[in-house]
């Protein structure tokens, strides 16, 4: 795998922009970073791959975990996070981020975010593996939409923030261990160089690398792949969280059915109409996500069915419809009444615990490069993220990264040399859509919820072979770059999963089914660690 650039451009001929701080990504982490940097006095530019609605934040349903209510405490939230993380959370990261959560959420409320309340008091919900009701939600299950709206409006009103939509960052501009901007492409296919004294990556997750995913199509690991090519250290790449319940109907796009549905009392039943979770875990439907996901997979196999069911029929219909209007409307499009019908569900790739290694200020291993949100690895989540901690992390770490960027000095120079090596236009030809479909199917089959050494090794060999061929084909479009980003991330995930010879949290191997104290450690990688040459 090439270390450096995959896109050829002579930068002297490319139009340039010069903000002080550049943020790549427009979800909760990216906009929080932009606002914090702008409040600190910096001129900030935000690049959104699509629209601001194309982020994982916008699609988030369940809520944001934060200690605000009676009967809860920071200590309880910390302990729940540590327990869910299966021994790989960094206690300092958990205590720091969870501890700052109330301040950041109250700040968000002061900016106009409207969370559900009753008689003037914020309502808090229950979710799996939480020992207290601490999940704030908005309009029932439209929490992400509300957070995105509040942050977008705040950023849009800020005189020192410029947001460019439909601009895709192709590569980090870097040399000698430092970053000084990005080369990007707009919706017309025209190139743009953006130079900055600090670059903040907030590009979200990798869900689209898998055939079954709750994420939007834009979640292709772009920031992680860019950082890897530039030489940044990545961490915990084997830990992919699968959400237990996504709507499963043949021929229909997968839709997330929030964890909060089980938090409010819904049951999981198999196709024999048997409730099965009490037989797998003492917390039944409120067990950690990895436990619930594997239990569902086991029941699917036992009953020879492609799904199980989520059962809300015993809950008060008015409660269900008020609490989950978005889920109800989605299911209604397919003629399912969630108050009367069993809802077919199965797991899907949902969240990435790994990513670009950062400290608790968002700094990476490269000068002037920061990362926050799902693309970053802070060691908050360990081997298995606690439900609804992701929006919390985005708010806290986005704000920290923005503040940190303000203190970074201008590098004093911005080289404008030729980026990348132009590959010869030969007979090599590539159909991106076909390669992407093959990649996503293989990752789902061989590097999914249940793993084994032989399929992992086979996938690793296939990815090396595919990369050698793909790398020989010239890169011209954003789709060409996206495919290479997906392949890059898939190679890191597979390589890390093959090395970790144990089962821990979201990483489960049938040939090493037990957790090993020897493996109670993080794995860090650079691009040369998965290089096939």
Q: Could you list the active site residues?
A: 289
Residue 360 is inside which H or E element, if any? none
CATH number of the domain at 246-348, please?
Answer: 3.90.700.10
Please give the distance of CA 418 from its chain centroid, rounded to a whole number: 32
Model pTM? 0.94
Domain ranges for the chain, please list them: 246-348, 422-530
Residue 419 is inside which H or E element, if any? strand 418-419
Residue 393 is inside which H or E element, if any? helix 389-406
Q: For position 418, what pLDDT does the model report? A: 76
**DSSP codes, 360-389:** TTSB-SSBTEEE-GGGEE-SSSTTSPPTTH
Cα separation, 28 vs 111, whole angstroms = 14
Q: For position 425, what pLDDT does the model report? A: 64
Q: Residue 35 in contact with residue 151, Cβ under 8 Å?
A: yes
Please give the distance of CA 511 from its chain centroid, rounded to a whole number: 28
Count other C-beta atoms under 10 Å from residue 236's C-beta. Answer: 26
Query: 3-state SS of 122-141?
Result: ECEECCCCCCCCCEECCCCC
Q: For position 427, what pLDDT does the model report? A: 67
Q: Determine the Cα angle at 172 with ends 531 and 184, to 5°.
A: 120
State the fold for domain 422-530.
Methane Monooxygenase Hydroxylase; Chain G, domain 1 (1.20.58)
Q: Residue 238 in contact with residue 497, Cβ under 8 Å?
A: yes
CA distances 92 to 33, 78, 81, 99, 364, Å, are: 21, 10, 12, 10, 17
What is the chain's pLDDT, residue by residue, as a tens digit (533 residues)?
Answer: 556 888 888 888 899 999 999 999 999 999 999 999 999 999 999 999 988 777 778 777 778 999 997 889 999 999 999 999 999 999 999 999 999 999 999 999 999 999 999 888 999 988 878 999 999 999 888 899 999 999 999 999 999 999 999 999 999 999 877 999 999 999 999 999 999 999 999 999 999 999 999 998 899 999 999 999 999 999 999 999 999 999 999 888 888 898 889 989 999 999 999 999 999 999 999 888 888 999 999 999 999 999 999 999 999 999 999 989 989 999 999 999 999 999 999 999 999 999 999 999 999 999 999 999 999 999 999 999 998 999 999 999 999 999 999 988 787 777 777 788 777 666 677 889 999 999 999 999 999 999 999 999 999 999 999 999 998 888 889 999 999 999 999 999 999 999 999 999 999 999 999 999 999 999 999 999 887 54
Strand partners, 344: 309
CA atoms within 13 A on the CB side of 224: 33
Q: Residue 382 in contact with residue 402, Cβ under 8 Å?
A: no
């Amino acid at each position: 795998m090439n270390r450096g650039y995959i896109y050829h451009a002579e930068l002297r001929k490319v139009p340039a922009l010069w903000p002080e701080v550049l943020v790549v990504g427009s979800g909760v982490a990216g906009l929080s970073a932009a606002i914090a940097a702008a409040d600190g006095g910096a001129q900030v530019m935000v690049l959104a791959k699509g629209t601001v609605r194309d982020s994982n934040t916008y699609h988030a349903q369940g809520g944001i975990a934060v200690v605000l209510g009676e009967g809860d405490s920071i200590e309880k939230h910390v302990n729940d996070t540590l327990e869910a993380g299966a021994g790989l959370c960094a206690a300092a990261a958990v205590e720091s981020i969870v501890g700052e959560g109330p301040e950041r959420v109250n700040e968000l409320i002061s900016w106009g975010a409207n969370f559900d309340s009753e008689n003037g008091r914020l309502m808090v919900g229950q979710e799996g593996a939480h020992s207290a009701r601490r999940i704030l939600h908005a309009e029932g299950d439209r929490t992400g939409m509300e957070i995105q709206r509040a942050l977008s409006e705040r950023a849009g009103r800020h005189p020192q923030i410029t947001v460019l939509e439909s601009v895709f960052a192709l590569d980090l501009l870097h040399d000698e261990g430092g970053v000084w901007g990005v080369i990007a492409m707009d919706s017309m296919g025209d190139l743009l160089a953006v130079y900055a004294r600090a670059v903040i990556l907030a590009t979200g997750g990798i869900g689209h690398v898998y055939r079954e995913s709750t994420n939007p199509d834009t979640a292709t690991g772009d920031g992680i792949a860019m950082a890897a090519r530039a030489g940044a250290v990545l961490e915990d790449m084997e830990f992919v969280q699968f959400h237990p319940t996504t709507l499963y109907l043949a021929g229909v796009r997968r839709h997330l059915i929030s964890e909060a549905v089980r938090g409010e009392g819904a049951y999981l039943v198999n196709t024999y109409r048997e409730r099965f979770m009490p037989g797998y875990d003492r917390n039944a439907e409120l067990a950690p996500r990895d436990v619930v996901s594997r239990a569902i997979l086991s029941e699917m196999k036992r009953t020879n069915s492609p799904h199980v069911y989520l059962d809300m029929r015993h809950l008060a219909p008015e409660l269900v419809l008020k609490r989950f209007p978005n889920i109800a409307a989605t299911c209604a499009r397919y003629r399912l009444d969630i108050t009367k019908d069993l809802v077919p569900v199965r797991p899907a790739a949902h969240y990435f615990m790994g990513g670009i290694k950062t400290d608790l200020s968002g700094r990476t291993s490269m000068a002037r490069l920061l990362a926050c949100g799902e693309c970053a690895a802070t060691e908050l989540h360990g081997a298995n993220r606690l439900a609804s901690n992701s929006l919390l992390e985005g708010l806290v770490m986005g704000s920290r990264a923005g503040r940190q960027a303000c203190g970074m000095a201008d590098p004093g120079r911005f080289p404008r040399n030729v980026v990348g090596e132009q590959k010869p236009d030969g007979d090599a030809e590539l159909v991106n859509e076909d390669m992407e479909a093959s990649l996503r199917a293989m990752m789902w089959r061989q590097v999914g919820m249940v793993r084994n050494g032989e399929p992992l090794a086979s996938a690793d060999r296939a990815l090396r072979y595919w990369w050698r061929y793909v790398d020989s084909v010239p890169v011209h479009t954003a789709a060409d770059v996206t495919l290479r980003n997906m392949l890059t991330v898939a190679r890191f995930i597979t390589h890390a999963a093959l090395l970790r010879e144990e089962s821990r949290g979201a990483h489960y191997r049938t040939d090493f089914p037990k957790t090993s104290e020897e493996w109670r450690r993080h794995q860090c990688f650079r691009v040369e660690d998965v290089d096939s040459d």
